[in-house]
């Protein structure tokens, strides 16, 4: 009884509608959280940064700030509900992948030659022909299929020859690539939510500020340069900075949309303010450990979807009996565009053969 329940639960986790519902719930929570500034990392022992963040929240929401804080609106991405949904969706995606990989692998690398009787009745496209019984008829039909780009395997029985033709068989694996990409995206989101942080640093001329968050890095404002158009308006600006890592100093130049990365921390130039002593510069320091995973997963997901929709797997069975009777069945994943017309053209070619 217990194992039967576990098997049913495992199959239920692998259903696509379950994954779709979980994905919708996660997206709704993400959309709701995007309305509020999220405190992605607690700041124990750093009362100055926490006070600055709370001041910004109070100035934005006024009297509602306290109620929103108690409701957890500013920590949605770290809430137990959101993390539990992410974990559940990860398990569902993993179950879906494991339940489908064997069938997809078999479809990609193994072409069974026998034609199940049910296939003739359930396939989306079927046809029955009576041709002249000739010894080379299966070979001629095979050549016609190969001319259309199908890889054909033939199995000779006692009274018939079965042709199994497949095209774009390896494209079946693209589904597994998409599932793996979703797992990487979930891993990246969790990594960014649990271990990522960002910090605004406004540094006076020739002053130094600690980046904090356990990075052991300090940032020194070493100078500021502004390029102007002939009419005096600002064309571009950049800052000279010195990153101090223990006893090591690294000099960099940060420009607009030209961040500097060091040891997993990226520094963005946000704004500047001129004073009598020089230019105070505001930087945004970001540590996002899940960024690379999400980018890699996005590339894999687009590649898998492009292969799945651009090169859909299609197959054709043909059973040729000794008296010249030919039964043909065909299907394609996601009802490939124009496959019905191509199937009809193949059947017509068989008639001419």
pLDDT digits (tens, 9 = 90+) for 13-61: 778 788 778 888 888 888 888 788 777 555 544 566 677 778 878 888 8
**DSSP H helical ranges for 14-79:** 16-33, 47-61, 64-71
Rounded to an integer, what distance in angstroms lies between the CA atom of residue 179 and that of residue 93? 6
Tokens coding 77: 């991405």
- What's the pLDDT score for residue 296? 92
- What's the pLDDT score for residue 6? 77
pTM of the predicted model as reported, rounded to 2 decimal places:
0.67
Architecture of the structural domain at 111-168+312-352: 2-Layer Sandwich (3.30)
- What's the pLDDT score for residue 83? 83
- What's the pLDDT score for residue 111? 59
Give me the sheet containing 217-228, strands edge to edge. Answer: 208-210, 217-228, 234-245, 248-255
Burial of 261 (0-12, 13-18, 19+ CB in 10 A): exposed
Give per-residue pLDDT as tens, 324-347: 888 898 888 765 568 888 888 888
Give me the sheet containing 325-332, strands edge to edge. Answer: 125-130, 325-332, 314-321, 160-167, 151-156
Q: Which of 248, 302, 243, 299 minimizes the C-alpha distance to 267? A: 243
* Residues in the chain where the model's pLDDT stays below 70: 1-3, 40-49, 107, 110-120, 334-337, 353
Please name the residues in contact with 249: beta carbons below 8 A apart, sequence gap of 6 or more.
242, 243
- What's the pLDDT score for residue 17? 80
- What's the pLDDT score for residue 45? 46
For residues 330 and 124, the answer to whether their CB atoms sit within 8 Å is yes
- What's the pLDDT score for residue 56? 79
- What's the pLDDT score for residue 186? 83
CA distances from 35 to 74, 75, 265 (A): 9, 12, 26
How is the chain split into domains, by residue range? 2-103, 111-168+312-352, 197-287
- What's the pLDDT score for residue 335? 59
Please name the residues in contact with 1: beta carbons below 8 A apart, sequence gap of 6 or more.
none
The residue with tokens 């590339």 is 299
260: enclosing H helix or E strand: strand 260-262
């Amino acid at each position: 009884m217990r194992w039967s329940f576990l098997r049913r639960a495992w199959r239920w986790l692998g259903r696509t509608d379950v994954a779709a519902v979980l994905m919708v719930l996660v997206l709704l929570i993400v959309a709701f959280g995007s309305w509020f500034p999220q405190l992605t990392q607690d700041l124990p022992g750093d009362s100055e940064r926490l006070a600055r963040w709370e001041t910004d929240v109070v100035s934005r929401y006024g009297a509602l700030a306290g109620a929103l804080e108690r409701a957890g609106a500013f920590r949605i991405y770290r809430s137990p509900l959101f993390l539990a949904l992410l974990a559940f969706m990860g398990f569902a995606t993993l179950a879906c992948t494991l339940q489908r990989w064997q069938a997809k692998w078999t479809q990609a690398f193994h072409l069974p030659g026998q034609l199940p009787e049910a296939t003739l009745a359930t396939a989306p496209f079927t046809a029955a022909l009576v041709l002249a019984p000739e010894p080379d008829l299966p070979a001629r039909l095979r050549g016609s299929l190969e001319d259309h780009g199908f890889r054909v395997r033939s199995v000779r029985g006692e009274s018939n020859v079965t042709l199994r033709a497949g095209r774009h068989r390896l494209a079946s694996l693209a589904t597994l690539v998409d599932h793996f990409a979703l797992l990487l995206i979930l891993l990246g989101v969790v990594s960014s939510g649990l271990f990522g942080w960002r910090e605004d640093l406004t540094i006076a001329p020739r002053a130094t500020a600690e980046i904090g968050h356990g990075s052991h890095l300090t940032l020194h404002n070493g100078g500021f340069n502004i390029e102007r158009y002939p009419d005096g308006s600002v064309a571009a600006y950049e800052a000279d900075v010195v990153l101090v890592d223990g006893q090591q100093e690294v000099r960099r130049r940060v420009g607009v949309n030209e961040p500097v990365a060091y040891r997993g921390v990226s520094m963005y130039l946000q704004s500047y303010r001129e004073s009598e002593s020089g230019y105070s510069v505001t930087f945004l320091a970001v540590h996002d450990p899940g960024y690379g995973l999400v980018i890699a997963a996005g590339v894999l997901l687009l590649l898998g979807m492009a292969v799945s929709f651009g090169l859909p797997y299609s197959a054709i069975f043909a059973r040729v009996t000794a008296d010249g009777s030919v039964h043909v069945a065909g299907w394609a994943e996601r009802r490939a565009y124009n496959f019905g017309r191509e199937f009809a053209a193949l059947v017509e070619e068989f008639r001419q053969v």
